[in-house]
């Protein structure tokens, strides 16, 4: 979740420039590196930027954190149907053929 006063600014850059940015930023998050660089450029042009450049990438959500599911989706079915499935398959077979199997 983003802060209400944040605006997304996306840019395309060459892969050479991207590599230089990655080397220069070190362990600084990319977004913070860009905010710092823009703030520095603005200050050099006479437009000082205060603490707003230090805005967090994300703000705390009012919703609880997502918890992983205990069931794996798209898992392969077992080779043996469970007892409940056997009864269901038997009933389906009876309704399709009209007789018990």
At 66-93, the pLDDT tens digits run 666 665 666 666 666 566 666 667 766 6
**Which pLDDT value is given to residue 19?**
95
**Which pLDDT value is given to residue 9?**
87
Angstrom distances, CA of residue 87 to CA of 77, 82, 91, 98: 17, 9, 6, 16
Domains of the chain, by residue range, sit at 1-61
Burial of 87 (0-12, 13-18, 19+ CB in 10 A): exposed
At 33-65, the pLDDT tens digits run 998 899 899 999 999 887 765 666 655 666 666
What DSSP element (H or E) covers 89? helix 83-97
On average, the pLDDT of the chain sits at 75
């Amino acid at each position: 979740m983003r802060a209400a006063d944040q605006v997304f600014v996306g840019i395309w850059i060459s892969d050479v420039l991207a590599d230089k940015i990655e080397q220069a930023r070190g362990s600084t998050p990319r977004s913070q590196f860009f905010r710092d660089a823009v703030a520095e450029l603005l200050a050099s042009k006479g437009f000082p930027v205060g603490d707003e450049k230090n805005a967090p990438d994300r703000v705390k959500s009012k919703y609880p954190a997502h918890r992983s599911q205990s069931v794996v989706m798209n898992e392969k079915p077992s080779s043996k149907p469970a007892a409940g499935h056997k009864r269901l398959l038997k009933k389906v077979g009876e309704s399709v053929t009209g007789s018990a199997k």
